[in-house]
Structure formats: structure tokens, C-alpha cells
Amino acid sequence: GDPEVACSESSNTTHQFRTDFPRPDMVVSCLSDGVQVEIHITEKGFNGVLYVKGHSKDEQCRRVVTLPSDSVPRTEIFKVNFGTCGLIHVNGQASFVLVIQKHPKLVTYKAQAYHIKCVYTTGEQNVTLGFNVSMLTTAGTIANTGPPPTCSMRIVTHTGQEINSAEIGDNLMLQVDVQPSSIYGGFARSCVAKTMEDSVENEYIVTDENGCATDPSIFGEWDYNPETQSLLAGFNAFKFPSSDNIRFQCNIRVCFGKCQPVNCR
């Protein structure tokens, strides 16, 4: 066209921009202190930036990646810690948007954004511990998914030593652990002492649905031990009149982080 009026493309010239860029292989790891993404970069001569959307200028939230033109595939590990880059956990979920910018300074049509999400399983689980007055053994554990919280119960002395025998009146503690403790916390409620007598199950509620002791002289309140990160409740060994076997069953509320303490007073 006439440069004094306007410039126009030749009628036989067309530009088609590619928009079907393949997604790189990525592996997301849900960790106790944050979320980690492994990004497998196969593009030779990659020259760009990885960053959390909304935090492109924060050095904790960005990574400059420059590869030579003859580079081999490379895996970049991009980790975001909780409390940084806007990453927090809400109801057991943590997420952010990862931007893969394929230009060192500009966001072009080649840039890609991915919603990275981790779900930490919380909720309620029942844990059961069976024991005989003379022999105390752990019945089992429960687990969920990713990374799974595992709840377990055991009977210990006040020094923390697990015991394998007891007599009526022995000063003991029921201990509940939720692992991994760096991610999860626990809250015990609806705890019941049970036994079978003549094919009939008898039970005695020791902790109510609010997590409070029904009779502290029989079974005490639950306390959190910050050193062992365990829940502990003290009691003196007891049994039902016609049976030497007792099972403890508790409903454990699994929380992301520490559970709110219960005020039973």
C-alpha cells in the first residue's frame, strides 16, 4: 500500500500463530511444609521464567530458567512453602497457579498457566484398641490418602512407656497419635469402653461427643503433649464385673495442622 496513507499486508501473505503447545510432564508432591512441582522441560534453548501467578516479582516465588540451544531435557524443581507466595491451606486444600513464561521478560501467547492443587485428607475416623486386664495390645491403625493420616492408639505409663500387662487400679494413659504429625492434628471424642458379656456388648462412655470426660474420676480429660505431639488421657485400669476384656473406641477428628483445643471446664 501507499506508506503515506497506510501499510497493509500483501494479499498472499498469512501468519498463523501456533497455540497447541504441548503440556510439559509435571509431578506434584504434597509435602508437610508446602507444595512441590517437578517440571520436565524438553524444549531446547528454553529461556523463560517459572512463577506463581500474582507474585512474579517475588524472588521466593519465581525461577529464571535458561538452557543452551543444544540442551538435553531437564527437570526443574519448583517448590512453594506454606505462608509464602499466597499459599495457604483452607479446609485441607492448598493451591496456586503456576505460570510457565517462555520469554525472559514478556508474557506472550506461548506462556502457559496451570492450576496446582493439593488435597490433604481430613475428617473423622474411628480407632479401636482392644486389651485384656493382664495383656494390652494395639488392635490396628487406619489410613486415608495423600499423604495419608494414620491414627493409632496405645496404652502407656506416665513416663511414656508402652505396657503389655496391667492390674486393676494401675495408673495408665490412653495415647492417640495422628501421623504424619508435621501435617495433621487430632481431636478425640465419643470414646467408649466396651466388652462382650454372654454375646451382649456392654459399653461405658468415657468421653462425650464434645471431647469432654463424662466422669474424670474414671477417665480424665484429653490433653495435647507438644513434645510427643500426642493426645493423652489418664485413667486407672478398670474392667466390667463379668469380663476381663475391654476395648476402647474413639472417634478421631483429623485436622490440617493443630485442632482447636476443647474447653471442658
CA distance 65 to 47: 6
Helices (H), 100-162: none
User: Based on the number of CB atoms within 10 Å of its own CB, is 260 exposed (0-12), middle (13-18) or buried (19 or more)?
Assistant: exposed
Amino acid identity for residue 59 in this structure? E
Tell me the three state secondary structure of residue 60: helix
More confident residue, 126 or 221: 221
Q: Sign (positive/negative) of CA torsion 205, 210, 211, 214? A: negative
The pLDDT assigned to 211 comes to 93
Of 59, 37, 36, the C-alpha closest to 49 is 59
- In the chain, pLDDT over 90 holds for what percent of residues? 17
The pLDDT assigned to 221 comes to 94
* Region 45-70 average pLDDT: 86
- pTM as predicted: 0.60
| Per-residue pLDDT tens over the stretch 76-88 | 889 999 889 998 8
| Per-residue pLDDT tens over the stretch 180-235 | 888 888 889 999 988 876 677 788 999 999 999 999 999 999 999 888 889 999 99
* Region 47-68 average pLDDT: 88
Domains 26-119 and 149-256 agree in fold: yes
User: Based on the number of CB atoms within 10 Å of its own CB, is 156 exposed (0-12), middle (13-18) or buried (19 or more)?
Assistant: middle
CA distance 218 to 220: 7
- In the chain, pLDDT over 70 holds for what percent of residues? 79
Cα–Cα distances in angstroms (integers) from residue 215 to residues 188, 209, 212, in the given order = 16, 14, 9
Of the listed ranges 107-111, 140-144, 201-205, the one predicted with least confidence:
140-144
The sheet carrying 74-81 orders its strands as: 25-30, 34-41, 74-81
| Per-residue pLDDT tens over the stretch 229-257 | 899 999 998 887 777 778 889 999 888 88
Beta strands in the chain (DSSP E): 25-30, 34-41, 47-52, 62-66, 74-81, 89-90, 93-101, 112-119, 123-132, 142-143, 150-156, 171-179, 184-197, 200-207, 223-225, 230-236, 245-256
The pLDDT assigned to 209 comes to 92
- Give domain limits for the chain: 26-119, 149-256
User: ∠150-153-158 over CA atoms, to 5°?
Assistant: 130
Q: What architecture is domain 26-119?
A: Sandwich (2.60)
| Per-residue pLDDT tens over the stretch 90-106 | 777 888 888 888 777 77
Residue with cell 499466597: 86
Beta strands in 59-183 (DSSP E): 62-66, 74-81, 89-90, 93-101, 112-119, 123-132, 142-143, 150-156, 171-179
CA distance 141 to 126: 9
**pLDDT band at 18, cuts 50/70/90?**
very low
The pLDDT assigned to 21 comes to 53
Q: Class assignment of domain 149-256?
A: mainly beta
* Region 106-115 average pLDDT: 75
Of the listed ranges 20-34, 124-138, 144-158, 199-213, the one predicted with least confidence:
124-138
Q: Are 184 and 176 in contact (CB under 8 A)?
A: no
Of 125, 113, 30, 45, the C-alpha closest to 79 is 30
